[in-house]
Chains A and B, each alone.
Chain A
Amino acid sequence: AQSVTQLDSQVPVFEEAPVELRCNYSSSVSVYLFWYVQYPNQGLQLLLKYLSGSTLVESINGFEAEFNKSQTSFHLRKPSVHISDTAEYFCAVSGLRGANNLFFGTGTRLTVIP
């Protein structure tokens, strides 16, 4: 069975500072990994995903995540955060049943401090 752990429920960081949001997963089979972002009172938006190939994936707004199979991790990083990055971030791993169910972590609230 798949599961996802996001150890940090809240991460405060100053504007223009780097940030890392941690995600670890457990699975006995190959996985697909996703990061979603949720702004207040909105649905989730896909930030980036790892399917195969290069273990470093990037989003259009400066975030990147690296798939580390040996450490079963998929941490999200940004070298310099902006106020607009304040949101809830969810890591997810795909299941292998026919409906491609996603298993979500409990989320990390990133707060960027001016």
Chain B
Amino acid sequence: SQTIHQWPATLVQPVGSPLSLECTVEGTSNPNLYWYRQAAGRGLQLLFYSVGIGQISSEVPQNLSASRPQDRQFILSSKKLLLSDSGFYLCAWSRGGGYNEQFFGPGTRLTVL
């Protein structure tokens, strides 16, 4: 069976500090991978998606970046965090094709102070 891991589960960082959130998937190969942000009281905002190693598409301009160094690893980064980066970050994977659902990780709660 497939599983998706995210870490850390919670993170408190000062403004201006760097960020690295990691997501890994087990039990499948060549998944599509996604990063979402969920702000308090709001829906999910798609940040990045990837259809393969080294292939990253950005949905919104921001000070975040994503990388996919391995087939089942997806990393969300920032060089300098902003207060507005606070939120709940969710990683997801899916098989190819629009009819396939996405499977979500447990999320990372990021608080920027």
Interface positions of A (Cβ within 8 A of B):
9, 32, 34, 36, 41-46, 49, 51, 90, 94-96, 98-102, 104-107
**Chain B residue at smallest Cβ distance from A107:** B43
Contacts of A102 in B (CB 8 A): 46, 102
Count of chain B residues near A, Cβ 8 A: 29
Pairwise interchain contact A100-B43, C-beta atoms closer than 8 A: no
Given A43-B107, A44-B104, A45-B104, are A100 and B96 also a contact pair (CB < 8 Å)?
yes
Whether B96 and A98, one on each chain, are in contact in the complex, defined by CB atoms closer than 8 angstroms, is yes
Q: A43-B107, A99-B32 are in contact. Are A104 and B49 (CB under 8 A)?
A: no
Q: Decide yes or no whether B26 CB sits under 8 A from chain A.
A: no
Partner of A51, one of B32, B51, B99: B99
Which of B90, B100, B106, B109 meets A100, CB within 8 Å? B100
B46–A101 CB distance below 8 A: yes
Please provide the 3 A-B residue pairs with the shortest distance between their CB atoms, ordered closest to farther: A43-B104, A106-B43, A100-B98
Binding site for A on B (CB under 8 A): 32, 34, 41-44, 46, 49-51, 57, 59, 88, 90, 92, 94, 96-107, 109
Complex interface: chain A residues within 8 A of B32 (CB): 99-100
Which residue of A9, A32, A90, A107 contacts B98 across the interface (Cβ within 8 Å)?
A32
